[in-house]
Amino acid sequence: MPTFRRDSLKVEMPDRSLVKIPYFRVEGDGAGPTFYVQAAQHGIELTGIYTVRLLLNSVMAERLNGTLIAVPIANPLAVRWRRHFYKMEPGEPYSSSHPHQMNRLWPGNPERNETERLAYSLYTSLVEQSDYVVDLHCWEQWVGATAIAMGWDPLSIELAEYSLLPFTELGFLDKGFIVHKDMLSAVATEAGKHALIIEHSGQRWVVPEQAKLVSKGLVNILRWLGMLPGEAARSEAQLMRSRDSVEVYAPEGEWIIITLKRPGEAVEKGDVIARLLDMESLEEKAVESPVHGLVYWIGSTRPNADTRPSEEVQVTSKGEKYRVATICELK
Ligand SMILES: [Zn+2]
Q: How much distance in Å is there from the Cα of 191 to the middle of ligand 1? A: 21
The CATH 3.40.630.10 portion of the chain extends over 3-224
Q: How much distance in Å is there from the Cα of 154 to the middle of ligand 1? A: 23
* d(C-alpha 88, C-alpha 82), whole Å: 9
Q: What is the pLDDT of residue 188?
A: 97
Q: How much distance in Å is there from the Cα of 136 to the middle of ligand 1? A: 7
Q: What is the pLDDT of residue 216?
A: 98
* d(C-alpha 42, C-alpha 245), whole Å: 27
**pLDDT (tens digit per residue) in 85-138:** 999 988 788 888 999 999 999 999 999 999 999 999 999 999 999 999 999 999
| Band (56; pLDDT cuts 50, 70, 90) | very high
Helix ranges, the chain (H): 47-60, 76-81, 114-122, 154-162, 184-190, 208-224, 241-244
HSE of 149 in the Cβ direction (CA atoms, 13 Å)?
22
* d(C-alpha 132, C-alpha 67), whole Å: 11
**pLDDT beyond 60 at 194:** yes
* d(C-alpha 299, C-alpha 256), whole Å: 10
Q: What is the pTM of this model?
A: 0.93
Q: How much distance in Å is there from the Cα of 203 to the middle of ligand 1? A: 9
**pLDDT beyond 60 at 309:** no
What mean pLDDT do residues 172-178 have?
67
The CATH 2.40.50.100 portion of the chain extends over 240-329
Q: How much distance in Å is there from the Cα of 49 to the middle of ligand 1? A: 12
Q: How much distance in Å is there from the Cα of 270 to the middle of ligand 1? A: 34
Q: How much distance in Å is there from the Cα of 246 to the middle of ligand 1? A: 25
**pLDDT (tens digit per residue) in 247-264:** 999 999 999 999 999 999
**pLDDT beyond 70 at 176:** no
* d(C-alpha 211, C-alpha 49), whole Å: 8
CATH code 3.40.50.300 for 3-224:
no
Q: What is the pLDDT of residue 307?
A: 66
Q: How much distance in Å is there from the Cα of 126 to the middle of ligand 1? A: 20
Q: How much distance in Å is there from the Cα of 138 to the middle of ligand 1? A: 6
- Torsion-angle region of residue 253: left (phi > 0), alpha (psi -120 to 50) or beta? left
Q: How much distance in Å is there from the Cα of 281 to the middle of ligand 1? A: 40
Bridge partners for 272 per DSSP: 288
Q: What is the pLDDT of residue 90?
A: 82
* d(C-alpha 115, C-alpha 106), whole Å: 10
176 vs 222, higher pLDDT: 222
**pLDDT beyond 70 at 311:** no
Contact (CB, 8 A) for 226 and 311: no
Share of the chain above pLDDT 90, in %: 77
What mean pLDDT do residues 181-198 have?
95
Q: How much distance in Å is there from the Cα of 275 to the middle of ligand 1? A: 30
User: Candidates 2.40.50.100, 3.40.50.880, 3.20.190.10, 1.10.10.10; correct CATH number of 240-329?
Assistant: 2.40.50.100
Contact (CB, 8 A) for 136 and 51: yes
Q: How much distance in Å is there from the Cα of 180 to the middle of ligand 1? A: 13
Q: How much distance in Å is there from the Cα of 74 to the middle of ligand 1? A: 11
What spatial distance separates the first Cα and last Cα of the chain, rounded to whole Å? 44
Contact (CB, 8 A) for 257 and 299: yes
Q: How much distance in Å is there from the Cα of 113 to the middle of ligand 1? A: 19
Q: What is the pLDDT of residue 72?
A: 98
Which of 32-46, 119-133, 279-293, 307-321 is predicted least confidently?
A: 307-321
User: Parallel, antiparallel, or unpaired for β 146-149 and 272-278?
Assistant: unpaired
Residue closest to 328 by CA, chosen among 185, 168, 184, 131: 168
